[in-house]
Amino acid sequence: MKRTIIPVGPYHPIQEEPEFFQLTVEGERVVDMDVRLSYNHRGIEKLCQDLTYDQIPLLLARICGICSASHPMAFCQALEDLTGVEVPLRARYIRSIICEMERLHSHLLWVGLAGHFIGYNTVFMWAWKYREPILDWFERAFGNRNHYENFCVGGCRRDLPAEEVEPLRRLLDGLVPKVEMLTQAVLDDPVLRVRLRGIGVLSKEDARLWCTTGPTVRGSGLYVDVRANEPYAAYDLVDWKVVTQEEGDVMAKAVVRLLECFESAKIIRQCLDRMEPGPIRTEVRDMPKGEGIGHAEAPRGETFHYVCSNGTNYPDRYKVRAPTYVNLPSFKSQVIGAELADAMLIVAAMDPCYSCTERVAVVERRRGGVRRLEQEELLRMSWAKTDRIRRQV
């Protein structure tokens, strides 16, 4: 059969971020793929070498607009690993609350987008509506809808205001039944079951070989979650469990994310109950020479940071590895053999975040390509498949 090369990108037609996929198809079936990244260089690792340790978390929060707490979290842990500073108990609870609120809003964002991709625009509207109060709460409590991270080495910069605790409890009371309703709707929908089951399967062995992390790997049944493997913040002080699924397909990844929302709500409630007044920051008195490693579980997977200190106030080398950087290459093992109408859904199921991954240089792709897919066409193909299944079911 004749092979056709389909370029998707360098600006993602659905997720509206820069990356480039080259899919080789026979008819409607994908037989090979290649991916190119790094269209949008920001040079953050190089910049970090010229910033003091106090300034770096502010810059790292700007790596990503969605998981803006995870990168500073991993940074602070790398520095705490290096200096041996103990974080006060109250700060550990605040860190957990912020990270879990972030997971909630990130997963809801993803549910909405995924719904949009397969033609369920009601899901899109609902999920994003439920997400909104979380951002509003962040703004009231920490001053910003997106940059609420407020972490510093040795603790937190700002305390959780006492008057925002009750609104947070009320917010969760309102949010959890709605997410329950959404989860039930997804699990019970016969069309969704046919549409999402069995596509984009990532086997256990492939998940290991491609070193994937986060919901992508937990959907394949591997117990990889930094919060449980190497507990940080307050995760060893509260009761929760790691959500895994065995199937490894798009449905499994969606279920992992939806069920994680309930675990997050559980963690936040326990943190609020157990928190006691106290100091929120330990001062770092001196910066030894040496190396530190910190990792944190972002909504999309493990964020891994490495720092090498030369004893001055500036790091000698700072390395950031975002979760999408390891999840995206595994797209190759998931997409080969899939239908073209599913390809972009499979990428979406990994919840890729290009702004995290793209920290390094500008690349230009030479013009060319046989068939070009625009946003409308990709969406139309995906929606048409859902419609076809809906008629059959």
Partner 1 sequence: MADREEVIARVERRLSGLCERFRRRNERRVYVDVPPEHSLEANRALFDEFRARLATASGRDTRDRVEVLYHYCFDEVGIVVTLRTWGLKPEPTVDSVAQFCPGANFVEREIHDLLGVVFRNHPDPRRLILSDDWPSGVFPLRKDYPVRGGEKERARLVARLIGAGEKP
Q: Give contact residues for partner 1 (rule: CB under 8 A).
A: 36-38, 41-43, 45-47, 50-51, 55, 58-59, 61-62, 81, 84, 208-212, 223-224, 229-231, 290-293, 295, 302, 304, 306, 308, 316-317, 319, 321, 325-326, 329-330, 332, 360-364, 366
Contact 6, 373 (CB under 8 A): yes
Nearer to partner 1, 45 or 247 (CB): 45
If the CB atoms of residues 41 and 197 are measured against partner 1, the closer one turns out to be: 41
Q: How far apart are CA 110 and CA 186, in angstroms?
A: 14
The tokens describing 303, both together, are 């964020």
In the bound state with partner 1, the residue whose beta carbon lies nearer, of 24 and 38, is: 38
List all residues 6 or more positions away from 28 whose beta carbon is below 8 Å from its beta carbon: 339, 340, 341
Cβ burial of 305 (10 Å; 0-12, 13-18, 19+) is buried
Please, which residue, 35 or 113, has the CB nearer to partner 1?
35
Question: To which residue do tokens 């037989």 refer?
Answer: 31
Of 329, 383, 318, residue with least CA distance to 357: 329
Q: How far is the CB of 230 from partner 1 (least distance, A)?
A: 4
Residue 33 CB, shortest distance to partner 1, in Å, is 13
Give how far Cα 380 sits from Cα of 26, 109, 115, Å: 20, 21, 14
Amino acid at 252: A
**Residue 360 C-beta: closest distance to partner 1, Å:** 4
Smallest distance from partner 1 to CB 276, Å: 26
Sheet holding 315-321, edge to edge: 289-298, 301-310, 315-321
Q: How far is the CB of 364 from partner 1 (least distance, A)?
A: 5
* Smallest separation, CB 61 to partner 1 (Å): 8
Between 32 and 189, CB nearer to partner 1: 32
Q: How far apart are CA 382 and CA 278, in angstroms?
A: 53
CA 169 to chain centre: 24
With respect to partner 1, which residue has the nearer C-beta, 272 or 360? Answer: 360
Of the pair 181, 362, the CB lying nearest partner 1 is at 362
CA distance 327 to 361: 20
C-beta closer to partner 1: residue 126 or 232: 232
Q: Which is nearer to partner 1, 156 or 207 (by Cβ)?
A: 207
Compute the least distance from the CB of residue 14 to partner 1, in Å: 22
> What letter does residue 146 receive in the DSSP assignment?
S
Q: Is 63 helix (H, G, I), strand (E, B) or coil?
A: coil
Instruction: Give min distance, CB of 178 to partner 1, in A.
Output: 33
Alpha helix stretches (DSSP H) within 197-286: 204-209, 215-218, 226-229, 250-274
Alpha carbons 218 and 344: distance in angstroms, whole number? 20
3-state secondary structure 309-358: EECCCCEEEEEEECHHHHHHHHHHHHHCCCEHHHHHHHHHHCCCCHHHHC
**Measured distance CA(311)–CA(209) in Å, rounded:** 37
C-beta closer to partner 1: residue 51 or 340:
51
Minimum distance between the CB of residue 203 and partner 1, rounded to whole angstroms? 13
By C-beta, is 46 or 140 nearer to partner 1?
46
Helix (H, G, I), strand (E, B) or coil at 35: strand
